[in-house]
Amino acid sequence: MNNAQGRRLKGASIILAIGTVIAAGALLSKGNSPSKPSHSEKMTHEDIFKTGDVVWSKYDDRKIPGCKIDEDVYRYHRHGRENDVDAQRAMVLTARCRMLPIAVQMTVEQTKFLSDNVCVRLQGEIDCLWTNGCWLKK
């Protein structure tokens, strides 16, 4: 392969990579569940939750994930960033996570120091599920 062919191949690879990133972004933006919260969705001092707070989902049009284990919330996010919808679906099908219903009152049961994740209990249920606090409102 000569120098010109190498440059063309490199240019084509860059264009393909950019197209893949754009396509992945478009797919994620059309999904039914939020991926990792964006910089504009960072928690503010009004969003800091404490045990006993009553909260609801910020979203009226989509469900948010709730997981039995705090670390699974991060895994769910990672699969979303990687556009691995099958892995997200597997986490729900194996009952590691489930989609929390829209417009349902929840109570904060646990928080973790230096974490945006909170454990919320749906009204009438025994156990709490971990979710990202950026997706909740008081």
- CA 21 – CA 112 distance, rounded (Å): 33
What does the pLDDT read at residue 28?
37
Residue-averaged pLDDT of the chain: 77
What does the pLDDT read at residue 29?
39
C-alpha 64, offset from chain centre? 8
Overall average pLDDT of the 104-116 stretch: 92
DSSP state, residue 128: -
Q: Which residue has the higher pLDDT, 105 or 30?
A: 105
What does the pLDDT read at residue 94?
93
Report which of 93, 137, 90 is spatially closest to residue 118, judged by C-alpha positions.
137
What does the pLDDT read at residue 73?
94
* Amino acid letter, residue 82: E
Overall average pLDDT of the 36-62 stretch: 73
Per cent of the chain over pLDDT 90 is 51
